[in-house]
Amino acid sequence: MMRKLKAKRVVIKVGTSTLVYPDGSINLRAIDQLAFVISAMRHRGRDVVLVSSGAIGVGLNYMGLKQRPKAIPEQQAIAAIGQSELISIYKERFAIYEQKIGQVLLTRDIFVYPKSHRNVLNTFDALLAQNVVPIVNENDTTAVDELDHETKFGDNDQLSAVVATNIGADLLIMLSDIDGFYDANPNEDAKAQLLAHIEKVDQQTYDLAGGSGSRFGTGGMVTKLKAAERMIKADGQMILANGEDPSIIFQIIAGEPVGTLFG
């Protein structure tokens, strides 16, 4: 059964597992597919914003490091190195499809203070009006948590939902390393069933969720459910699907029943 989706303005969130192989090398094929799909969507008149993880994963690869450093300043340094490398790769790949991009690095407090909140929304509107795809990430080099000044989103699942609800996106497509939301952990239970549609996120839904994933990423299923809950409250929809081949976005936009639809 085909889905009915509103998808004039779409936010696509890609996790580190889509962009970086388990051995730490960069998945250029996936990035190229992502650039192709988003460019095609943009050329058909859709507003598309890409929320991309991967700065630390790409930074580790660039610096030839196997393990994520434990110290915050070192993590932030790796993020700074990785972010510039990542945006360079995106720029190169999008250029093949004649699509311009713009980088937007955010901290949580930008959405808290009215003036900066208004300014960042104006920036998104201006970029989209000029047929530019904003590529968003948390500003990992400066984001910290302090008692009176919280600047971290915590993870890019939350960041993507905050961006999507603030810019009035109809749909949040979240690409991860799992096919969707299951009624049990599919890695541990062979009888786990993929749930095609979840209308509301409640305590029972959270009870089904597990822990976080790869050594490169920070998000787990709970953060994805929080993002879905935020989208539903804003009268939007979210689809969680496997990002191994980003061309799955074409199937999602066409309304094919892939992944899990929230809302």
List residues forming the annotated binding site for ATP.
13, 176-177, 218-224
Binding-site positions: 13, 53, 140, 156, 176-177, 218-224
Binding-site positions for substrate: 53, 140, 156
CB atoms within 10 A of CB 91: 16
Contact predicate 246/14, CB 8 Å: yes
d(CA 21, CA 8): 32
For residue 137, report the phi and psi dihedrals to the nearest 5 degrees: -150, 160
d(CA 84, CA 28): 16
d(CA 217, CA 156): 9
d(CA 81, CA 65): 12
Question: Which SS3 state, helix, strand or coil, does residue 192 take?
Answer: coil
Selection from 176, 175, 164, 174 nearest residue 47 by Cα: 164
Lookup result for tokens 């009176």: 148
